[in-house]
Amino acid sequence: MNQKIWELFEAKKILLRDLKRLDLSEFTKKRSLEAFFGVDTKNFYEIVFLRSAKSRLLLKEASEINEICTKFEEKFQTKIKKRVIFYNSQICSKSLNYFKEEGWSCYDFV
């Protein structure tokens, strides 16, 4: 883990036990996406996606990220309560609304 990720987690008060970096190669080919998985202080599973790309985050990619999360739930037979995404590019308003409807927390970073 690098220092930037820790600073993002600390700024948004995300504290996870058993933090693991997920290998997304079997779910997607995107290199701009990283995922972290852990258990929060209330014993709920939480997944955090970090997207570092220059292009705008569109609705198609937002639905793909949500699908990756559901595939991950099926593979490891868990129910993820909290879903968070950090992004450093512009985001389409439709994709932001989609994330909010699906129960995601969305944060931008520079």
pLDDT in tens, the chain (110 residues): 577 778 888 888 888 888 889 888 888 888 889 999 999 889 999 999 999 999 999 999 999 999 999 999 998 899 999 999 999 999 999 999 999 999 999 999 87
Given this model, what pLDDT does residue 58 score?
94
As for how many domains the chain has, the answer is 1
Q: What are phi and psi of 62, to 5 degrees?
A: -65, -40
CATH number, domain at 21?
3.40.1350.10
Residue 47 burial (C-beta neighbours within 10 Å; 0-12, 13-18, 19+): buried
| Owning domain of residue 77 | 1-106
Name the strand (E) or helix (H) holding 71.
helix 59-76
Neighbours of 33 (CB within 10 A): 21
